[in-house]
Amino acid sequence: MSEAMELPAQDTPLRDNVDFLLARASALLSSTLNATLAPLGLRMRPFAILALAAFEPKMNQREIAEYLRLDPSQVVTLVDGLESQGWVQRLPDPRDRRTNLVAATAEGLDRLEQARAVTREAEDRLHSDLTAEDLQTLASLLRRIAFI
């Protein structure tokens, strides 16, 4: 039978581990933003796709999948949902009949602006301990570990 053990040498408390902090910050972010977006009928992933459909209307589903690090089959489901709400359209690509270009509709752009307003507020609360310069530093460090 195993006996309970006493404290071993503790060289990296979880609170000092960058990956633990990354996971915890991300969990806090997604639960906060999902709750914030719920009244608008959105969640983080469809919101991100809607933003891409608005900002980069010439992206196809595979490009969206790579950009958001999703499986292409997840993009199918998420675009289905956005399309059934009338917020995005699948447009044919005249250069390749296999691909769908995903573009925001007028209603989608409108909903996106509402979503950006409420998420901006939530993000301001989440980031209230950081200065604008801190946020820029954080973004630049994260960019170097987010696209490996």
Partner DNA sequence: TATTGTTATACTCTATAACTATA
Partner DNA sequence: TATAGTTATAGAGTATAACAATA
Minimum CB distance to DNA, residue 84 (Å): 12
Looking at residue 5, the DSSP 8-state letter turns out to be P
**Those residues with Cβ within 8 angstroms of residue 2's Cβ, 6 or more apart along the chain or in another chain:** none
35 binds a second copy (CB under 8 A): no
**Which residue lies nearer to DNA by CB, 94 or 140?**
94
Closer residue to a second copy, CB minimum distance, 38 or 135: 135
126 contacts a second copy (rule: CB under 8 A): yes
41 binds a second copy (CB under 8 A): no
Which pair of structure tokens corresponds to residue 147? 């696209």
User: How far is the CA of 74 from the CAs of 66, 68, 70, 71, 80, in angstroms?
Assistant: 11, 11, 6, 5, 10
Residue whose entry in the numeric block shows the structure tokens 């990354």: 22
Q: Which is nearer to a second copy, 35 or 138 (CB)?
A: 138
- Closest approach of Cβ 76 to DNA, in Å? 4
